[in-house]
Amino acid sequence: MADKKITRVGVLTSGGDSPGMNAAIRAVVRTSLFHGLEVFGIMRGYSGMVENDIISMNSRSVANIIQRGGTILKTARCKEFYEYEGRKKAYDNLKSRGIDALVVIGGDGSFQGAEKFSKEFDIPCIGLPGTIDKDIAGTDFTIGFDTAVNTAVEAIDKIRDTMEAHDRLFIVEVMGRDAGYIALHSGIATGAENIVIPETKTDIEEIIQSLTEKEKRKKLVNLIVIAEGGEFGDAYKLSAIIKERIPTSDTRVCILGHIQRGGSPSCHDRLIASHMGYYAVESLLLGRYNVMVGVINNKIHYLPLEKAVKEKQKIGQEWMKIVKILAS
């Protein structure tokens, strides 16, 4: 595969949308055009490949999109792509247009699909980590995380105002079904007394004891940030336990939900998306295939897609120690 000459590149966004995807699309399109390559946008992720919903793109196709959230190529889940017949159909559609390489912007599931597709049909693929969860190994940041966590911080700061006014305990649920990075970062940044994440076993007795002790010394304003995939399932279940154990606690729940996915991407997300998109095309031209383009210590880092799929970004226990110390 390293001897392939790339002439036509397809780009798609897959899985959950994340702010900065448009900046990545823009970088892929314009870098491809700079090198004399043709570039095609594949609509709705792998669904567009299967259904032949593919459009030719030029420089004007990506004008005025770098500041927009979401993805102009749209995204979707595709059950048909899980089966060989669906992937073969997708390959035939690419072949009919002469598309000989793919740039896939998405998360873990998107990379799994790209790796399998590449092995079966000898199509070079490059992955760009586009997910607000920041749960992919091989990169310090993923496209969309910075914007999502700043959205959460801004919302929690506003919630704190009403917490202070009413002496309340607020349990704020943020996104993160399998990864607690948004909860961890936003919780530390907003001074949360407790942070509940999927990666760490939660000691409910410790939480109850901490809140009881704070109530005794008249510290009635408390914040718990919980990831949606936390041990208790959701914020309402945790709230019910606390209300049962501490009936005097004035407890409220706020679920931030999909507001974290939207909005104009931050400067940081625009920069890393542009950087990664540029190097995705450069990588194809250099014959470096089937890798994910990441950033480690502010330098571009390449990780084989196979490893990116199997490995997960891990949260160090020292972070939880910091939470306890700073919240005391």
Rounded Cα gap, residues 81 and 26, in angstroms: 26
**Within 10 A of 55 (CB to CB), how many other CB atoms are there?**
11
Rounded Cα gap, residues 308 and 291, in angstroms: 8
Q: Give yes or no: 234 in active site.
A: no
Distance (Å) of CA 248 to CA 25, 133, 251: 52, 35, 9
Residue 244 and residue 164 in contact, taking contact as beta carbons nearer than 8 Å: no
Report the candidate in 222, 148, 210, 223 with the shortest Cα–Cα distance to residue 179: 148
Residue 295 and residue 141 in contact, taking contact as beta carbons nearer than 8 Å: yes
Tell me which of 17, 100, 108, 133 is the catalytic residue. Answer: 133
Residue 152 and residue 174 in contact, taking contact as beta carbons nearer than 8 Å: yes
Residue 234 and residue 174 in contact, taking contact as beta carbons nearer than 8 Å: no
**Within 10 A of 77 (CB to CB), how many other CB atoms are there?**
14
Q: 292 phi and psi, to 5 degrees?
A: -100, 135
- Report helix, strand or coil for 40: strand
Rounded Cα gap, residues 295 and 183, in angstroms: 22
Rounded Cα gap, residues 13 and 106, in angstroms: 6
Please give the positions annotated as active site.
133
